Structure 1
Amino acid sequence: MLVSGPSNAEIADELGITQRTAATHITHLMQKLGTPTRTAAATCALDAGLLCVPLPGRVERYAELSIGRLVAAAAQDGTAPAVPRPRAPRSQRSPRELVVGAALPLSGTGSDDGREMVNGLRLAIEEINATGGVRGRRVRARVHDVEVTSSASVRTAFASLLGDGVDVLTSGYLSGQEIGHEMAAVAGVPYLHAATSGAMERMVRDDPARFSRIFQVCASDTEYAPRFVSFMTSLRDRGPWHPRADRLAMVVRNWHGVDFGIERARAVAAADGWELDVVPVVRAGGGDGWARAVAAAVRTPAAAVMIGSFFVDDAVQAVSALHELESSALPYAIYAPSVPSFRHRLGPLAEGVVWATTTGTYSDRTGRAFARRYTDRFGVVPGRSHAGLAYDRVQRIARAWSSCGDIADADGIAAHLRAEPYRGVNGTYNFDTPGQAALGVEDHGDPSLAQPQLIYQIQEGRQTIIRGGPFRTGDFRVPAHLA
C-alpha cells in the first residue's frame, strides 16, 4: 500500500485498523527493510518485487501501477484472483477497545512493586469501564512482564506491546529507560513512565520534537540527596532529635541513569555544618555488598544514613545491617518503604525508619477513599506510591482521550496532557515543564499545582507523613533505639 502513496488515515480506514496500528506496522516495515523513510520502504518493495496479489485495500488505488494494470486486465478476461471485499467503514462498525500497554515487573527484580502497579492499573480500568468507558469504548490492559535491570528485557517488552498496536504505553522504572523512550518515539505512541529520572527528563528537554509524546509522571530524583541533608538540618536545629555526630552518610547503589543530586547535597551540607560522605555499594564477594557498605558508612559515627536504592531488598538489607551494628545513625530510605513488603519483612526493625518519595499517595479524603476501594477489590492495603501512581496514570490518560476529538491523534493527546493539570490520589500532575516531568513543589511553590516530595516515618507500624506541606499527618518521633 505504501507504494501507492496513501496516508496513515487512508491505510487505517481501508484495512479497518486504527491510525496508530497502521503507524506501528509502517515503523516495523521500515526497521525490517532497513529504510529510513516510508518512501524508501516503498522503493525497496518495488525493487525487490515484494508486491503481490491479492492487493490490500481498494483495487482502484493501484490503477497507475503496473501490478494494478495487470490485475485490471486479468479481471476483464475472467482470470483475476479473488480480491477480499473492503471492510465496512469504521463508522459502521462497533468501536474497538482502547488498549493501555504496560511494561511492569511481574517477576524478578521489583516484582513486589509490580503487583502494586498492576492492581492500580486494573482498578482504574474497571472503574472507567463501569461508567461507560471512554466515549463508549471499553478500556483494556495489555501487560508485559519486564525484568527492570535488563535492557534486553525492556526491548522485548516494548517490541511486543507496540507490535500489538497499543494506544498508549506505560511503565514503572527501568534500567534501560532510554530504550523505552527511543522505541516509543519511533512508534509515535504516547508514553507515560515513572522513571523518576533527571537524565530522562533532560533527554526529553533536549529533543522536544522527537520526544514530545513522552511524559514522566513524577518529579525527578535530583532532589533526594539535597532534601535528605536539609531535613536532617531541620531536625537538628528544631529538635527533638539531637544527633551524636556532625557527619551524614549516603550508601548508594549504582543504578543506570540515577542522579540523586549528590554534588548539590555536598554544597548544602557544607553550608549547614555537616560532613557528607558517599559510600558506593560493591556487590562483589558473596552478595553482602550492602552490609559491607553500611559498615563502612558508620565506621566513623554518623548522625544519619541515606539508603540510596529504590528496591525493597536493598533497603531491608541496609536497615538490618544498621541494627546488627547497633549504630546510632538514623535510617533514611528513599521510596522502597512505600511497598508493603518492606514492613512485612523487617517487622519491628521497620519502626522509626524515615523515607522520602517524589510521588506518594496522600492521606487526605481522596487518598483514603482510593485505599478503601483498592483494599475491597484486592484484599490487601495498597502501598504508598506506585499503586496510586498507576491508578492516576490511567485516569489521566482516559481524561485526555475523552477530551480529544481524535483518540488516535497522538499529538493532540500529548498537547492535552501538557495543557491541563490533573489532581489524582498522588497529588497534582502538571506536565507543563521543559522535560515533561511532573512538576515538584520545590520548583513551583504551590502544592495545588505540583507534587511535594513527601517524607514519611513508620510509626507504630503505620505510615505517617511528617513533611509534605498541607498533607502532613504527624510529627517526627525519635526511634526508641536511638532515644
Structure 2
Amino acid sequence: MWSGAAFTVQIRPDGGLGLADRGTHDDVPPELVALAAAMGRAELARCTFHWRVPLSGRLCRVVLEARSEHGFDHVVLSGEPVDELPARLSPRELEVLTMLVVGLSNAEIARDLGITQRTAATHVNHLMLKLDAPTRTAAATYALDTGLICVPLPGPAAHYAHLSVGRLVAATDAPVTRRPRVPAPRRELVVGAALPLSGRGSDDGREMVNGLRLAIEEINAAGGVRGRRIRAVVRDVEVSSGASVETAFGSLIRDGVDVLTSGYLAAQEIGHELAAASGIPYLHAATSGAMERMVSGDPARFGRVFQVCASDTGYAPRFVEFLTALRDSGEWVAPSHRLAVVVKHWHGVDFGIGRARVDAEAQGWELDVVPVTGTDDGWTRAIATAVREPAAAVMIGSFFVDDAAAAVTALRALGSTALPYGIYAPSVPAFRHCLGPLADGVVWATTTGTYSDAVGHGFARRYRDRFGVVPGRSHAGLAYDRMQRVARAWASCGDLSDGEGVAAHLRAEPYRGVNGTYNFDTPSQTALGIDDHGDPSLAQPQLVYQIQDGRQVIVGGGPFRTGSFRVPGYLACR
C-alpha cells in the first residue's frame, strides 16, 4: 500500500532503497521500487507515467531517472499524489488514452477493458475534447510527451512492447545477480582509511591518522591479533567531493583491505554503497541521521556498515536543552528570548532543527534558522543576519574549523551579546590556535568526545609522548577506539577474513574506549547515544564543552562533567 505522501528516493539496481530526499522509505510502494530496479535491464534513462494504486484507485505521477554518479549506479524514483488529472481526465479516460498511444481501435479497447464498443468510442471522444486534440494521433502524442500513461498497463502487455514503459514492465521479471567477494589470503591484517590529508578538514585528518597509528602500534607491540600484525593503508580524500570518495574507496577495495574506515564525507552514501558492494566491514564517523535511515532501511545490504558516533539529529535539540538549563538555573541571564541556528548546507546532515523548534517553543524561546550562502563572506553575512535582532545564543552549524572560526570572529566584531555555541569543530586544536583569545568562552558540543577520566588522560599522555602534540577532544580518540574495537572483533572470529563474523561481533558486544562506550546494537548500527540521565556504561552522552582560559572543560555530560559553565568575560561586563 501507498501512504499517499510524495517521495523522492534513490533505488539501487538490486532494489535496495538509498537516500530519501523527500518522504521516508515507508512512503515508497514496493511495486514502484521493482520498476525502478528494472530501469537498467530495460536500458532506459528516463520514464514517466501515472501509477494507479491497486484497490484504492488513487493516482501517483511517477518519474524515474537513471543516474551514475561517481561509480554509484542508481535510479531516482519520484512520486507525487495526483488529485486531478490534466484536462480533468477521468481514471478510465487515462486508461483509454494509454491504449490510444499504441494505436488500438475502439473495438480493441472495448474488448480489453470489457466494455461496449459504443462506450469505448464515447471515452475516446470525451478525452479528445478535453485535450483539445483534433485526432487520435494528436492525443497519443500529448500522452507520450506528458507521461499520461497508466500503469498497470490496461490490456495485454504485448501491446506495449515498443514503448519504454512497456519494456520497463517486462524487465521487472529479469533476475539480478551479485558477484561475491573472494578474499585473498594474507598474513597481515590491513585497515583501509579514507581520510583528509590535504585540503579542507586536513587538521582533523591528521588527528584521525595519529589516533589510528597509535592504536596499531600498541596492538602490534602486544603481539598483534592472534599473531598477525596490523597495517594501515591511508588514502587522501577531499571530503566535499564525490569523485574523490569514489577514488579513495575504489583504491582501498582494490588493495584488498580487511576493513574500511573514514571520517565524515559529504558524499557519504557513495562510501556506503561501495563498501556494501565489496562486502568489507566499514566503520565511519559521519554522525548522519540520513545514513542511519539508509542502513536501517536495508539491513541485508548494509549489515556490515557501522556509524561510530551518535546521530547529528541531536545537536539542535541539545543546544536548546543546554541553554534552557543555564537560564533556568540562573547560571546565565539570557539577553533575549531568541535563539539562532546558522547553518551551512552539508549533504546528508540534519541537525534535528525540526525537533529543536518544538522544544524551543515549549521552553519559551523563539528559534530562527539562518542559512549560509556564498563562499567568500558567507559566514560574516549570515551571522550579521542572525544577530540583527538580539539573540541569546547562536549555534554555529558546521563541522569545519574555518567556518566556526569565521562565525566566532564575526560575533565578536559585531559586539554581539549572543553566546557562541559550536558543533564539533572546536574539538580540533587548530580552532584555538586560529582564534587565540577569541576562543575563550566558546561553548561547543560533540556526539563523541574524549573523556577527562583516567582512561582519557592516559590516552592523551601516550598520544602527546608519541606525536609531540596534545590530541583534540574528538576524532583522535575516536580513531584510536575504532581500531581497538576492530582488533577485538578480529580476535574473536574463527576466520579473520569473515566479514559477517566481524560485523556480528561488533553488533554483539559494547566496548568502552577513551571516547566512552560504543554500543552498535541498534537498527541502524549506530553507536548508541544517551542524554545526561542515561546509563553511560551502555552508550555515550553528547558532551558539551566550554573553552575556559585555553582549556577544554566539560560543562555538560552527566557524570563526565569536569567544571561549570562560565559567562565569558566579554559578556559578563556588559
5 Å-filtered alignment, 1:237-248, equals 237-248=328-339
- Report the counterpart of residue 194 of structure 2 in structure 1: 103
2-side partners of 1:195 and 1:361: how far apart? Answer: 17
Residue 381 of structure 1 aligns to a residue in which SS?
coil
What CA distance in whole angstroms lies between the structure 1 residues aligned with 2:330 and 2:344?
Answer: 31
Superposed counterparts of 1:248-263, under 5 Å: 248-263=339-354
Runs of 5+ unmatched residues, structure 2: 1-72, 74-174
- What are the Cα deviations for residues 240-292 of structure 1, in whole angstroms up to 9, with x where unaligned? 210111100010000000000001000000000001000000015xx100000
> Whose relative contact order is higher, 1 or 2, with alpha carbons under 8 Å and at least 6 apart?
1
Tell me, what secondary structure is at the counterpart of 1:209?
A: helix
Amino acid at match of 1:234: A
**Alpha carbons of 1:140 and 1:247: their partners in 2 closer, same or farther (altered >3 Å)?**
same
Question: How much has 1:39 moved relative to structure 2?
Answer: 7.9
Q: Which of 328, 342, 345 is the matching residue for 2:417?
A: 328
Change over 3 Å in CA distance of 1:257–1:470 after alignment to 2: same
2:372 corresponds to: 281
Q: Give deviations 1:276-314, integer Å, cap 9, x for gaps.
A: 000000015xx1000000000000000000000000000
Provide runs of 4+ in structure 1 moved above 6 Å.
38-41
CA, structure 1 residues 243+159, in 2 after alignment: closer, same or farther (shift >3 Å)?
same
Tell me, in whole angstroms, the C-alpha distance in 2 between the residues paired with 1:315 and 1:392: 26
CA contact (8 A) 1:101 1:169 kept: yes
The two structures have a TM-score, normalised by structure 2, of 0.68
Compared CA separation, residues 157 and 333, structure 1 to 2 (3 A) = same
Partner in structure 2 of residue 37 of structure 1: 177
Report if the CA contact (8 A) 1:338-1:385 is conserved: yes
For residue 176 of structure 1, what is the aligned residue in structure 2?
Answer: 267
Q: In the alignment, residue 338 of structure 2 is paired with which amino acid?
A: R
Unaligned runs of 5+ in 1: 1-30, 42-88
Across the aligned residues of Structure 1 and Structure 2, the Cα RMSD in angstroms comes to 1.7
Which of 509, 516, 525 aligns to 1:427? It is 516
The aligned counterpart of 1:365 is 454
Q: 1:245 to 1:408 in 2, by over 3 A?
A: same
Equivalent pair of 2:533/2:558 in contact (CA under 8 Å): no
Hey, what's the Cα distance between the residues in 1 that align with 2:442 and 2:488? 37
- Which of the pair is proportionally richer in strand? 2
Q: Deviations over 1:193-216 (max 9, x none)?
A: 000000001100000000000000
**Match of residue 228 from structure 2:** 137
Residue 418 (structure 1) aligned with residue 507 (structure 2) = yes
Structure 2 residue matching 1:175: 3-state secondary structure? coil
Amino acid at match of 2:294: M
Paired residues for 1:126-205 under 5 Å: 126-205=217-296
Q: Is the 8 A contact 2:530 2:540 kept in 1?
A: yes
Larger radius of gyration: 2
Determine helix, strand or coil for the equivalent of 2:552. Answer: strand
State the distance in 1 between where 2:216 and 2:485 align.
11
Match of 2:191, SS state, is strand
Distance 1:302 1:40 in 2: 56
- The whole-number CA distance in structure 2 between the counterparts of 1:310 and 1:343 is 15
Task: Give, in whole Å, the separation in 1 of the partners of 2:432 and 2:465.
Answer: 21
Q: Give the distance between the partners of 1:412 and 1:133, measured in 2 at CA.
A: 19
Aligned partner of 2:439 in structure 1 is 350
Q: Provide closer, same or farther for how the CA distance between residues 320 and 38 of structure 1 changes in structure 2, counting only shifts above 3 A.
A: closer
Give the alignment's TM-score, normalised by structure 1.
Answer: 0.80
Q: Secondary structure at the match of 1:347?
A: helix
1:231 aligns with 2:322: yes
Structure 2 residue corresponding to 1:455, chosen from 516, 529, 544? 544
1:61-100 aligned within 5 A: 96-100=187-191
Would you say the 8 A contact 2:532–2:541 is kept in 1? Answer: no
Aligned-partner SS, 2:520:
coil
The Cα of 1:442 is off from its aligned counterpart by 3.2
Please state how far the C-alpha of 1:38 moved relative to its aligned partner: 6.3
Amino acid at match of 1:231: F
After superposition, give the CA deviation of every residue in 1:202-241 in whole Å (9 maximum; x if it has no partner). 1000000000000000000000001101111111110221
Distance in 1 (alpha carbons) for counterparts of 2:250 and 2:538: 35
- Count of residues in correspondence between the two structures: 397
* Structure 2 CA distance for aligned equivalents of residues 436 and 270 of structure 1: 32
CA displacement 1:412-464 (0-9 Å, x = unmatched)? 11110000000000000000001000000139921111000000000010000
- Give the match for residue 125 of structure 1: 216
Distance, in Å, in 1 between the alignment partners of 2:532 and 2:568 is 32
Whole-angstrom CA distance in 2 between matches of 1:443 and 1:317: 30
Say which SS state the counterpart of residue 210 (structure 1) adopts: helix
Give distance in 1, aligned partners of 2:272 and 2:310.
Answer: 17
Sequence identity (%): 77
Is 2:466 the partner of 1:377?
Answer: yes
**In the alignment, structure 1 residue 469 sits paired with structure 2 residue 569:** no
Distance in 2 between residues matched to 1:40 and 1:198, nearest whole Å: 29
Q: Structure 1 residues 444 and 402, CA, compared in 2 at 3 Å: closer, same or farther?
A: farther
Matched residue of 2:318: which SS? helix
Deviation track 1:172-198 (CA, whole Å, cap 9, x = no partner) reads 000000000000000000000000000
